[in-house]
Structure 1
Amino acid sequence: MKGDKNYILAFLLPAFLLLGTFVYYPFLKSFYLSFFRTNGFFNKKFVGLDNYERLFSDDLLGAATLHTLEIMLYVLIFQVGIALVLAVMVDSISKGKQFFRTVFFFPIVISGAAISLLFVLIYNYQFGLLNGIIAKLGFEPILWMSETGSLKAVAVPTVWHYVGFYFVLFLTAMSKIPSDFYEAAKLEGIGGIKKTTMLTIPLILSDIKVVMILAITGTLKIFDFVFILTRGGNGTELLGTYMYKKALVDQNFGYGSTIAIYIVIFGVVLSLITNRLLKREEVTY
């Protein structure tokens, strides 16, 4: 028995080392630096809670938080919603599931930077694909990256990028539902949308909750789409880009670290709220 424990520890040790090096140490280091005014290398000065007090009076941080929440709303409604609808549709067919699984999952293997550059070309005012189509139809071109439309324009590639990932998670969860349940529902005359709402969704509710939490925490990490498309301008500043600007552009690692701690706490609070709202007795089968 003791030998088995040693083997378990030996296999877990590399994972603990990686987590400690790339997750826990950076977090603790950020927490430490949040009490200083520093450029990350020199000129370190202890300022106590000044950086945290600054959070509450930082209007740009408040705007970045609201923008992040707006993107999060789009992600939860469209990214998770479209993934669920696609999974229900594909799960109802008998042939071709593997084909659709591959096609819908494909965007996730493309880097966010590549997708962002693609949408830079699509949104281009003079030579972009969208305005090219609009011009062919006889309409005036549209400034897609305007002050009022930029955030929605950024949301489109963000949603598209991860729809396939959540689609596969939902489809996998649905494939685990025993066929006896559907056969019984068929005998009761339950089918179509009613079968989906009364049977499928309740049985995968725990998976939906996990996907929603992943979507929420994933939104807090969005950086490449915003940075490449707008550099955070035109009302698209998110928490990730604002933290980057404060830490690396303004060389204020102390305040940048404070924003990082804020993002972590914000994500944990939103995850707990989501978990609480969707809390219910698990359906077993």
Structure 2
Amino acid sequence: MSFFRTNGFFDKKFVAFENYKRLFSDEMLGAATLNTLEIMLYVVIFQVGIALVLAVMVDSMKWGKTFFRTVFFFPIVISGAAISLMFVLIYNYQFGLLNSALAKLGFEKILWLSETGALRAIAVPTVWHYVGFYFILFLTAMSKIPSDFYEAARIEGISGIKKTVYLTIPLIVSDIKVVLILAITGTLKVFDFIWILARGQNGTEVLGTYMYKKALIDLNFGYGSTVAIFIVVFGVVLSVITNRLLKREEITY
């Protein structure tokens, strides 16, 4: 369909590469791509970072592991739409939880979904939603590390942060690579948070919402399909780049 100008029904005309030519001159697509990359940056730094920190903390516990596994994993079982609606209430200017708390403390209310701050505000539920999933992946990888390694490190006087940096992380580097690829490619599927919280307005347009608007709102299925092809190619390129950057001889045990 990307080679046609079509509304997906009866109006259909072969246009060869016209849609692809339009793709590379589309300023809105460029803005949507930059916004997607910004969300991706937040996901890689905070979603993966927080998941790794939580996994290290829980792995070092002697009691309560099951409880924290359940608590941290819980957000992933909630649908993105439900979480989005919850944050609609949290960010509400008049009666939202955040502004009510600010008003109680004597501060001015904030328009959380403004032109300048909407994307960062939407990044919060996006990050929170999948932290638990990556936390479980990291925790599972750490549980497979033989206890002899840690015993040898303890004898050598290596503990705390040094043990994490020089022992745990190198031994799960392949799992970290998998998580990073999942996080990066997963960002390309972000839609529900953006759509429910902002409808892609206020500078929050991402590739998923832009494709949806073109195909199902403007009924330009030809160009919408072209944007979909771009998303797939973009995801493959990012995955290859991530693999190359993290390419190294993996430690086996």
TM range, smaller chain: over 0.9
Q: Which residue identity is paired with 1:139?
A: F
TM-score, with normalisation over the residues of structure 1? 0.88
Could you say which residue in structure 2 is the equivalent of 1:201? 169
1:214 paired with 2:182, answer yes
Separation in 1, partners of 2:10, 2:56 = 56
State the distance in 2 between where 1:266 and 1:83 align: 25
Q: CA deviation at 1:282?
A: 1.0
The answer on 1:60 being equivalent to 2:28 is yes
Mapping of 1:158-237 within 5 angstroms? 158-237=126-205
1:217 maps to a residue whose letter is T
User: Which residue is equivalent to 1:110?
Assistant: 78
Per-residue deviation, 1:41: 1.4
CA–CA separation in structure 2 for the residues paired with 1:155 and 1:229: 11
> C-alpha separation between the residues in 1 aligned to 2:52 and 2:9?
47
Letter paired with 1:41: F
* Unaligned residue ranges in structure 2 (runs of 5+): none
Q: Name the SS for the 1:45 alignment partner.
A: strand
Matches within 5 A, 1:92-171: 92-171=60-139
> Residue 264 in 1 paired to residue 232 in 2?
yes
Q: Give deviations 1:141-180, integer Å, cap 9, x for gaps.
A: 0110110000001000000000000000000000000000
1: distance between equivalents of 2:71 and 2:161?
Answer: 25
Give runs of aligned pairs for residues 3-14 of structure 1, distance below 5 A.
none
Query: What do residues 81-102 of structure 1 show as CA deviations (whole Å, max 9, x unaligned)?
Result: 0000000000001111111000
Could you say which residue in structure 1 is the equivalent of 2:5? Answer: 37
- Give 2:168's aligned amino acid: T
Per the TM alignment, residue 191 of structure 1 is displaced from its structure 2 partner at its CA by 0.6
1:223 offset after TM fit, Å? 0.4
- Structure 1 moving runs of 4+ over 2 Å: none
Secondary structure of the residue aligned to 1:37 is strand
1:84 and 2:52 are equivalent in the alignment:
yes
RMSD across aligned positions (CA)? 0.4
User: Structure 1 counterpart of 2:35, which letter?
Assistant: H
Distance in 1, Cα, partners of 2:64 & 2:135: 15
1: distance between equivalents of 2:48 and 2:100? 30
Question: SS of the counterpart of 1:279?
Answer: coil
State, as a whole percentage, how many aligned pairs show the same letter.
83
CA distance in 2, matches of 1:188, 1:269: 43
> What do residues 209-245 of structure 1 show as CA deviations (whole Å, max 9, x unaligned)?
0000000111000000000000000000000000000
Secondary structure in structure 1 of the residue aligned to 2:24: helix
Distance 1:272 1:97 in 2: 35
Which residue does the alignment assign to 2:213? 245
The yes-or-no answer on 1:284 pairing with 2:252 is: yes
Secondary structure at the residue paired with 2:62? coil
1:77, 1:202 → 2: CA distance? 18
For residue 200 of structure 2, give the secondary structure of its aligned residue in structure 1.
Answer: coil
